[in-house]
Structure 1
Amino acid sequence: MNNDQNKKIVLFIATLGAFVVPFMMSSVNVALPSISKELSMSTVALSWISLSYSLATAIFVFPFGRLADILGRKKLLLWGMIGLSISSALCGLTFNSAMLIIARVLQGISGATVSVTVVSILTSVYPPGERGKVLGLNVAMTYAGLSTGPFLGGLLTEYLGWRSIFIITVVLLIIVVVLLLNLKQEWAEATDESFDYKGAAIYGIALFGIVCGFSLIRSLSGIILMVIGFIALIVFYNFETKVEHPIMDMNLLKENRILTFSSLAALINYSATSALSYLLSLYLQYIKVLDPTQAGLILMAQPVVMALFSPVAGRISDRIEPQKVASIGMAITAAGLAFFIFLSQGTSVIYIVAGLLTLGFGFALFSSPNTNAVMSSVEKRYYGVASGILGAARTVGQTFSLGITSLIMALYMGNESINASNQTAFIGAVKVTFSILTVLCIAGIFASVARGKINRSGQDL
């Protein structure tokens, strides 16, 4: 097999792997009202179906990035895909809310492997001049999953029930597993180094405490968890500066401005945008009284635009400074979020679609150039770590976005399900949440600009 054929096979596996997880996530968002009805879940409990997955992914994505460099990226991706298959089957077989949330945690742990291996494998195989193109294609497949998820998820939920979403996911995952088993090549540049188990544990405690504490901030237990989380974060920083082979090389962040600010920009961007499909799915089905299929069709608008323009943005970032492209994308994303500050019971579907199209275009311009900047800013031996940092920024951002949403929902609605008597409170919570997310995204523009310019060898200019 020649080098070009090998690169195409790797690209196919990576893009198919990148498709499956977002497909599942976006499908589940559309199915939330049906899940709530069958399992009798409150608004706060319902938010944990998404939050538990994101939190588990966020905790494990960083350590797994380091583990991928040591054990091998293909091997870790294979284990993750097998774990995803098993946990997805458990989701489809669940009979109560607690079991579903536990299965979602297992999905999140397995899904973390996809976040850290797919991008680093592509970066290992493709040289800098071709990297933006393939990363853009990879992002496009991610958004293809996000775009088909709402529609197919709506159809499956309406005609076969929400459990069928997880069954379809298992079938797709098995295909990826078979392909990986037949791929002989491996990528591991740090096989002679040890894994920092203590650092990984401290990091997990810190993130769990901060995120869970934030979602429970109204109670004393929430405040205690946040304090524990921040103390653990300080301990983690000090610990990692003294370990011979840390899961996070602090010098890498200190010395690499592009990596630091690109990751911060990604964190802010995902914090500002990730709750969108969750909120709009509830809004469209409870307030606009649309069925899951109709809601899914509307929600497709954003990821379809992402899928169309991400490869273009990736190619542009091979020729034009990624800082400029990504910063413009962040600004357009903020404008798209601002649309939803003015939602009401009478808001037209056309208005909602216009906001989603704006958001999709902005996110496409931001995502692949930002990823290109991160992966081009480090040496080959740090690809797994850089991918882990970027994956952590994404998943922590997703978790905080859902955490903010859960907090606002709890403040406005308490622990009740959405019904006719509290729809006004629900809309108020949605408007406040989007106001906060818009301001957050505006702040992200400055982080994107602050990264500075890069050259093709990844050094600051």
Structure 2
Amino acid sequence: MERQGNSQVNKLAIMVVTMVSNFFNPLMGSAVNVALPKIGKEFGMDAVSMSWVTMAYLLSSAVFLVPFGKASDIWGRRRIFFLGSIFFTLSAFVCALSPTGFSLIGFRLFQGFGGAMMYCTSMAIIVSAFPPQERGKVIGLNVSAVYLGLSTAPVLGGFLTEIFGWRSLFYVNGFVSLIITIIIHFKIKAEWTEAKGETFDYIGSIIFMPSFIALMYGFSKLPDTNAVILAIVGLIGIIVFVLIEMRVPYPILNMKLFFENAVFASSNLSAFINYAATFAISFVLSLYLQYAKHMTPKEAGMVLITQPVLMAFVAIFSGRLSDRVHPRWLASSGMAVSVGGLLMLSFIGADTPIVYIISALAVLGFGFGMFSSPNTNMIMGSVEKKFLGVASATVGTMRTTGMMFSMAIATLSVYLFIGKNPISNDNLGNFIQSSHVIFIIFTILCTIGVFTSFIGKKDTRRLPNKISETQPEKTK
């Protein structure tokens, strides 16, 4: 096939499609939550059924990340991203046309399938297309797009649902995804297949996917007895998967990346810890602000938006800075700042001023924003070019499992203090005590993360130079 140098790659088109997709994927994962009451009312769905409108998308997108990450290394990152955008576009439109709640849940599964194909390849394409001196900046912009998607989801989702109805969410998403698909087809001709010729590990994929679903779903429903059993079964399945992957010639997830690459292993562990220690903050504080401070959901949302907005802006600058300063220092510093914010939240009470809460969220937003881009830069820069798709998928998997673990800690802690009783004035003190335990656990996790993000003797600023020599194929 015809080859072309990196100078001929349409970097602007790559920036547009990756940033827009990284903005809309998390946005659609969160914005639909605002529309759930309207969806439930139209289709006569109970609370459990409504939750599956969101859960179907999250589970589907999470479980396919690793298999598609490896597939993109073998069959082409642009190809997988392009197919993902087609799936995502079509599923968005059929979601908007759903005649029943059951069909909507089914179509959301397909949307998560397409979202996984796009998310697991976006970072790999960026690292393949941009030289080392630009990589941190571009990663920072894409990480910022993720946070902007998360922060604007409640506002945009609420606006569209209120004015045009819940179906408008999927129509808008479909049209934007269609534009992305068109840009990819006409403007991005480069292809990267560094693992071309390797066989795809179907057995590993078949074991991984149901095991991961069982583990995720089990953790999400703790402390229910059946959930504990399901989580244990899922964990056993993951252990079997790891043992098999260590023996097959072309695994979907090469365990040597974790056992022989200290930077890759420690940076992924740090990403997991960071999400585990921060994701449930909005869940806990949302309850705290509404029950202890008697705020409306809208008012609570305006307070909580402090963290993701600050994350988005800081991630841009930390990404740029990681091209000049070793990303290890920035990631560790960001984690240390997050420790300070979590420690502040460990002391909240019923009479804590709102300014104090906002200040703590600002500290957390700054710390998380400083951590994420450099840490992602370290992960993507620590692997050989043939593992870029797998590395990109691993970043997404750490994010998903970290969020799951965070919610499990929060849910279990609240349950231990107030049981299954609804929060009221009678047990508000117990709920606040549970929040103290939650934030102390998160503080300890983040403190551990300060050290894990600094582990690794290999200089990640040198290794990416190998990747920059990647010569993409031109699609016909």
Q: Normalising by structure 2, report the TM-score.
A: 0.84
CA RMSD, Structure 1 to Structure 2 (Å): 3.3
Aligned to 1:54: 58
Aligned to 1:393: 398
Aligned to 2:442: 437
Written as runs of structure 1 = structure 2, the 5 A alignment for 1:71-220 is: 71-89=75-93, 92=96, 102-182=106-186, 183-220=188-225
Aligned to 1:379: 384
DSSP 3-state at the match of 1:450: coil
Written as runs of structure 1 = structure 2, the 5 A alignment for 1:17-416 is: 17-29=21-33, 51-89=55-93, 92=96, 102-182=106-186, 183-284=188-289, 288=293, 290=295, 293-344=298-349, 346-409=351-414, 411=416
Distance in 2, Cα, partners of 1:431 & 1:163: 40
DSSP 3-state at the match of 1:449: coil
Distance in 2, Cα, partners of 1:213 & 1:398: 13
DSSP 3-state at the match of 1:391: helix
> How far apart are residue 199 of structure 1 and its match?
0.4
Residue identity matched to 2:360: G
- Preserved contact between residue 150 and residue 300 of structure 1 (Cα < 8 Å): no
Superposed CA deviations along residues 48-102 of structure 1, whole A, max 9, x for unmatched, are 6655543333321111110111222122122222333344445556688766655
Q: Tell which deviates more after alignment, 339-348 or 389-398.
A: 339-348
Aligned to 2:461: 456
User: Per the alignment, do residues 59 and 309 of structure 1 end up closer, same or farther by CA in structure 2, a change over 3 Å counting?
Assistant: same
DSSP 3-state at the match of 2:399: helix
User: Per the alignment, do residues 188 and 169 of structure 1 end up closer, same or farther by CA in structure 2, a change over 3 Å counting?
Assistant: same
Distance in 2, Cα, partners of 1:428 & 1:97: 38
- Preserved contact between residue 30 and residue 295 of structure 1 (Cα < 8 Å): no
Distance in 1, Cα, partners of 2:229 & 2:391: 32
Residue identity matched to 2:268: S
DSSP 3-state at the match of 2:453: helix
Q: Tell which deviates more after alignment, 188-197 or 146-155.
A: 146-155
Residue identity matched to 1:271: A
Residue identity matched to 2:119: S
For structure 1, the residue ranges without an aligned partner over 5 or more in a row are none
DSSP 3-state at the match of 1:315: helix
Q: Tell which deviates more after alignment, 441-450 or 45-54.
A: 45-54
Residue identity matched to 1:313: S
Distance in 2, Cα, partners of 1:378 & 1:55: 27
Distance in 2, Cα, partners of 1:428 & 1:422: 10
Tell me which of 5, 12, 24 is aligned to 1:8.
12
Distance in 2, Cα, partners of 1:131 & 1:51: 33
Q: Normalising by structure 1, report the TM-score.
A: 0.87
> How far apart are residue 361 of structure 1 and its match?
0.6
> How far apart are residue 22 of structure 1 and its match?
2.2
User: Per the alignment, do residues 35 and 292 of structure 1 end up closer, same or farther by CA in structure 2, a change over 3 Å counting?
Assistant: farther
> How far apart are residue 223 of structure 1 and its match?
3.3
> How far apart are residue 34 of structure 1 and its match?
6.8
Q: Tell which deviates more after alignment, 72-81 or 364-373.
A: 72-81
DSSP 3-state at the match of 1:319: coil
> How far apart are residue 239 of structure 1 and its match?
0.9
DSSP 3-state at the match of 2:462: coil
Residue identity matched to 1:210: L
- Preserved contact between residue 277 and residue 445 of structure 2 (Cα < 8 Å): yes
Superposed CA deviations along residues 373-430 of structure 1, whole A, max 9, x for unmatched, are 1111111111111112222111221222233344445555666777788766665554
Superposed CA deviations along residues 110-166 of structure 1, whole A, max 9, x for unmatched, are 322232111000000011121111111111222222232233234334544555434
Q: Tell which deviates more after alignment, 361-370 or 247-256.
A: 247-256
Distance in 1, Cα, partners of 2:425 & 2:107: 31
- Preserved contact between residue 14 and residue 118 of structure 1 (Cα < 8 Å): yes
User: Per the alignment, do residues 274 and 379 of structure 1 end up closer, same or farther by CA in structure 2, a change over 3 Å counting?
Assistant: same
Larger Rg: 2
Residue identity matched to 1:188: T
- Preserved contact between residue 200 and residue 247 of structure 1 (Cα < 8 Å): yes
- Preserved contact between residue 146 and residue 300 of structure 1 (Cα < 8 Å): no
Distance in 1, Cα, partners of 2:91 & 2:77: 21
Percent identity over paired residues: 42
- Preserved contact between residue 329 and residue 361 of structure 1 (Cα < 8 Å): yes
- Preserved contact between residue 327 and residue 375 of structure 2 (Cα < 8 Å): yes
Distance in 2, Cα, partners of 1:97 & 1:431: 38
Superposed CA deviations along residues 200-259 of structure 1, whole A, max 9, x for unmatched, are 121223322323333444444333323322322221122112212110112222221101
Residue identity matched to 2:140: G
User: Per the alignment, do residues 394 and 442 of structure 1 end up closer, same or farther by CA in structure 2, a change over 3 Å counting?
Assistant: same
